[in-house]
């Protein structure tokens, strides 16, 4: 098993005729993902990498049975693209787009939750279940099938962490995004990994800023029985300086790496300070 996606996922690409949409459609298809449709208004009838293009998500879903979507559209249109996917009836929407206006994200995520649709992102690298499917922009060479579930606020650091799971590989890797408002949280993924029989251990990759990691630690303490490892990025970041993601800022004495590490330790999460440590730590627990 895996979480969120698998070999049966039928994916449509919103913004497929753009540079990024076309490139990652090719990469996802080559990985083995069933990319069944693309959507760009006004471009119906075209094909990209052998994938038919439709004018709307509703048309694409009706014609192909797509049940998941990935969004590669400019930030100012991403909120509408999210809502279009939600109203068309897909069950999973991955939003790669960076810089989505916060109110647009809030609105789309609220509507999605009311309809039972899961949004991953915005501003995220997506989801990969190694050997099964990839819905995102991750480099396939960083991953291999296995038993470690990884959930991360970071982008490229996710790939490094996954590569350091060693011989154990990954069941699913989820990049939830680092914006202040996102559709899928650490806790959402922790619950899915805990309930997934294929996943034997979990890695949380957090960042400075906010309190998501602290809430995740409390959830681990009360619900998760599998070994959990934690890494916090930005441990040397100065206060009040924004570091990469919109949510990665320490302010008013909250959101520091030290606070998050303490929360992890108090919850029984084994903290790693360098990605290279993870391989040996896993050997001792699995």
Buried b (16+ CB within 10 A) or exposed e, 108-143: bbeebeeeebbbbbbbbbbbbbbbbbbbbbbeeebb
CA distance 70 to 79: 13
As annotated, the binding site for substrate includes 159
Candidates 134, 200, 245, 281; catalytic one: 245
Active site residue 245: yes
Q: Are 93 and 115 in contact (CB under 8 A)?
A: no
Residue 276: Cβ within 10 Å count: 11
Give the strands of the sheet with 68-71, arranged side by side.
47-48, 51-54, 34-39, 10-14, 68-71, 92-95, 118-120
Active-site amino acid positions: 245
């Amino acid at each position: 098993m895996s979480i969120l996606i698998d070999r049966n996922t039928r994916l449509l690409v919103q913004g497929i005729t753009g540079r990024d949409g076309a490139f990652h459609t090719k990469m996802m298809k080559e990985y083995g993902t069933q990319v069944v449709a693309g959507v760009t208004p006004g471009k119906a009838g075209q094909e990209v990498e052998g994938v038919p293009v439709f004018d709307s998500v509703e048309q694409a879903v009706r014609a192909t049975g797509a049940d998941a979507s990935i969004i590669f559209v400019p930030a100012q249109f991403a909120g509408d693209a999210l809502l279009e996917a939600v109203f068309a009836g897909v069950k999973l929407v991955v939003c790669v787009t960076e810089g989505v206006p916060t109110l647009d994200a809030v609105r789309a995520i609220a509507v999605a939750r009311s309809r039972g649709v899961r949004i991953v992102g915005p501003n995220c690298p997506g989801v990969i279940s190694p050997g099964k499917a990839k819905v995102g922009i991750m480099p396939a060479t960083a991953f291999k099938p296995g038993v470690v579930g990884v959930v991360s606020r970071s982008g490229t650091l996710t790939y490094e962490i996954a590569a350091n799971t060693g011989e154990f590989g990954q069941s699913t890797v989820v990049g939830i995004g680092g914006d202040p408002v996102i559709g899928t949280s650490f806790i959402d993924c922790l619950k899915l990994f805990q309930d997934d029989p294929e996943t034997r251990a979990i890695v949380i990759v957090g960042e400075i800023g906010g309190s998501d990691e602290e809430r995740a630690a409390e959830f681990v303490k009360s619900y998760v029985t599998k070994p959990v490892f934690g890494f916090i990025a930005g441990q040397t970041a100065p206060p009040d300086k924004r570091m990469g993601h919109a949510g990665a800022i320490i302010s008013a004495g909250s959101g520091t790496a030290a606070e998050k590490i303490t929360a992890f330790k108090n919850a029984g999460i084994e903290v790693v300070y360098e990605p290279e440590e993870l391989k040996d730590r896993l050997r001792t627990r699995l």
